[in-house]
Amino acid sequence: MVKIDKIEKKLVETASKAMESAYVLWGLKVGAAVLAEDGQIYEGCNIESWISGLGTCAERCAINHAVLHGCRKIEAIAIVMSIQSHNEPRPCGACLQYIYDFADNPKIKIAMAKAENGRILSETVRVNTLEEMLPFPFKK
Ligand SMILES: [Zn+2]
């Protein structure tokens, strides 16, 4: 198991709880949680739509939640995916760019794990920096 710090553990636990709220029509449940500049944790879940492209990923939902509360920067993020997924839990390309847009700096940590019914599978936990996962972000 990857060693994670206290904040990352809290973010993974919060994302795991948020995953249970996911609105899923055909996909899998995903939860996310961000540590925002105000020191608070804001969670999000994926919300699907029958209209292609209209739904949103959990990561963007969590960031939008932080923005709603006046935050413009995030300091860490966790993503938790259902154990039903065959894929490794990680943000999609669009979310990596969105995380970059609101990241305090490119070295913020992205914690990823799989979970089910609030139980986090410790062997699936992994932590990378944003710049490791998105080495060439779009910059204005
Ligand atoms: Zn995404």
pLDDT in tens, 76-87: 999 999 998 888
Q: Which residues surround ligand 1, an ion (CB under 5 A)?
A: 57, 92, 95
Position 117 scores a pLDDT of 87
Decide if 59 is catalytic: yes
Task: For residue 38, report the distance from its CA to the centre of ligand 1, in Å.
Answer: 24
Instruction: Give pTM, 2 decimals.
Output: 0.95
pLDDT at 1: 54
Ligand 1 midpoint to CA 140 (Å): 21
Q: What pLDDT is stored for residue 18 in this prediction?
A: 97
Catalytic, out of 59, 116, 123, 131: 59
In the reported structure, the alpha carbon of residue 5 is separated from the centroid of ligand 1 by a whole-number distance in angstroms of: 24
The pLDDT of residue 52: 85
**Residue 100 — φ and ψ, nearest 5°?**
-60, -45
Closest CA to 125 of 137, 140, 115, 138: 115
Distance CA 67, CA 106 (A): 19
According to DSSP, the residues that pair with 35 across neighbouring strands are: 41, 76
> From the first residue on, what is the mean pLDDT of each consecutive set of 10 residues in the chain (140 residues)?
85 97 95 98 97 95 98 98 92 97 97 94 96 95
Question: Please, which residues have CB within 8 angstroms of residue 12's CB and are 6 or more apart in sequence?
Answer: 4, 33, 78, 80, 111, 113, 115, 120, 125
Query: What crossing angle do the helices spanning 6-19 and 58-68 adopt, rounded to 10°?
Result: 110
> How far, in Å, from the CA of 99 to the mean position of ligand 1?
10
Strand partners, 78: 33, 111
For the record, the structure tokens of 39 come out as 């020191």
Give the pLDDT of residue 4: 84
State in Å: Cα 123 to ligand 1 middle. Answer: 22
Non-local CB neighbours of 7 within 8 Å, separated by 6+ positions: 35, 76
